[in-house]
Amino acid sequence: MSELGDGEGKPIAVSLEGRELTLLLVRQGQLVFAYSDRCPHMGISLLWDRKLLVTPDGSHLRCANHDALFRIRDGVCVAGPCIDERLEAVATRVAGGRVWLLPRPARDASR
């Protein structure tokens, strides 16, 4: 976690549930939020030249393609072409100075 300053974000490549994907990690205080790198507007990356754009106040992610703004705390789009849609979140836990990605809850197969 020390590699990620407060209000900063960075993309990381991971293998999650058998899929290779890019996650966007963003730190706010002692919390780290993770989102799949897919803008809900067109399903493309939010990155600009492999960099994650965070607003100067550290409260929003900016899509480099459509200028949409997403709240870091919940991934909801608050400005741009996909207002009220949200980024796909990945649960995290910070322990021992490391960021851990948590598995998704198992789906109930009887439903």
pLDDT of the chain, 111 residues: tens digit per residue: 678 889 899 999 998 778 888 999 999 999 999 999 999 988 899 999 989 999 999 999 999 998 999 999 999 999 999 999 999 999 999 998 888 888 766 555 554
Residues 90 and 102: their CA atoms lie apart, in Å, by: 7
Predicted TM-score of the model (pTM): 0.86
Phi-psi category of residue 77: left, alpha or beta, with phi > 0 → left and psi -120 to 50 → alpha: beta
CATH code of the domain occupying 9-101: 2.102.10.10
Q: Which amino acid makes up residue 76?
A: V
Contact predicate 45/39, CB 8 Å = yes
Res 107: pLDDT = 54
Q: Which of 44, 41, 47, 40 is nearest to 12 (CA)?
A: 47
Rounded to whole angstroms, the Cα distance separating 88 from 17 reads 14
User: What's residue 87's pLDDT?
Assistant: 96
